[in-house]
Amino acid sequence: MLQRVSVLVAVAGLAAMASAGITDFNAFKMEYRNFNDYPNSTITPTINGTSSVRISENMGPGPQKFANRHFAMLSGDGGATRLSLQNSESFKISYKMRLNSNIDQDGSGQLWPQQPEGGIFFGNDRGGGFIDEGGIFVIGNGTVFVGGANQRFSLIGEANNGTGRLSKGDTLEMSYTYYAPGVTGALAAYAVQYKNLNTGFSTTVFNTFDPNGPDANGLNNGSWVGFRFQHTRNPLVAGGTTNDIEYFDINVVPTSSSLAALALGGLVAARRRRA
């Protein structure tokens, strides 16, 4: 079943405003071949300022391995380095995305086991060289969830139990809001709004960061965020596998107290509906 998780968070934490860090976003730092299991692939990027970023990749010949992975990291210095997030900075990233691939077109009529993946990706910097990775995972088999980077797990759709929330080629309208911690004891939180514009399905999940995890309360100082492109190959597809993930209508802003009030209202309403 579709899992919905709602947690009420202190107003002070939700109302925290971002400092100059998140508003410095002015470019993407493109990082290609973070995984490089297909070194002979052909990568075609398309970048339009800060409003859209797309990578199409022909995986080339050869056997199936794991994946190639690329990032478009938020940058505040024209793409030279990754933008550094701060624990006290609340922000919202909204965007649309499409994930396309011919990976299943091998004549079998079945989903290929290894599927392309996209979504927002975080590195929660624990210090000492330790980075906890996580984000929103959008997978070509229809699975969508939030987890990792010390976020509590939230499931939006799971292909294996019949609640897949996308087909490749669908247009998804999404947002991620980070709510910084407020007064002592108030947990940092996040909200993900998800809508499939092709099917009309929409949902919002609210959750906190794990207070028992190894990280600070929320995203640690020095953490980073960007968009992920993870591409794999089906060796049985005639002519080779091409993966194409695009993010567009991207908007990155600090959150406000009015947005926090709306989030709290949604949480209260959700609790009433379950009562």
Round to whole Å and give the CA distance between 245 and 105.
17
**Phi–psi pair at 136, nearest 5 degrees:** -100, 125
Confidence of residue 161 (pLDDT cuts 50, 70, 90): confident
Mean pLDDT of 60-72: 93
Residue 179 pLDDT greater than 60, yes or no = yes
CA atoms of 228 and 206, how far apart (whole Å)? 22
Backbone angles phi, psi at 73, to 5 degrees: -85, 140
- Distance (Å) of CA 57 to CA 105, 123, 142, 169, 197: 16, 24, 21, 15, 25
- pTM summary value: 0.86
Q: What is the pLDDT of residue 255?
A: 83
For the chain, domain boundaries: 11-274
Burial class (CB in 10 A: 0-12, 13-18, 19+), 269: exposed
| pLDDT for residue 214 | 58
pLDDT at 31 over 50: yes
DSSP 13: H
Between CA 211 and CA 150 the distance in angstroms is 9
CA distance 165 to 4: 14
Whose CA is closest to 121, among 97, 138, 143? 138
Look up residue 183 and give its two tokens. Answer: 């007064």
pLDDT at 1 over 70: no
Please name the fold of domain 11-274: Jelly Rolls (2.60.120)
Q: Give yes or no for a contact between 13 and 187, defined as CB atoms under 8 angstroms apart.
A: yes
Quote the CA–CA distance of 272 and 274 in Å, as a whole number. Answer: 5
